[in-house]
Amino acid sequence: MLPSTPSLALYADQDILVVNKPADLPTLVDGYRPEAPYLLGLLKAEYGELWVVHRLDRQTSGVIVFARSAAAHRTLNIQFEKRKVEKVYHALVQGSPAWEAKNVNLPLRANGDRRHRSTVDAIRGKPCSTELRLLERYADHALLEAIPHTGRTHQIRAHLAALGHPIVGDHLYGGKSLEGLTRLGLHASRLKFCHPVSGVEVEFRAPMPDDLTHALKTLRQENLSPPVEDDTLLS
Q: Which residues contact 47 (CB under 8 A, 6 or more apart)?
A: 5, 12, 17, 68
Catalytic residue set: 57
DSSP-derived pairing of the beta strands 101-105 and 201-205:
unpaired
Q: Which residues contact 209 (CB under 8 A, 6 or more apart)?
A: 22, 23, 61, 187
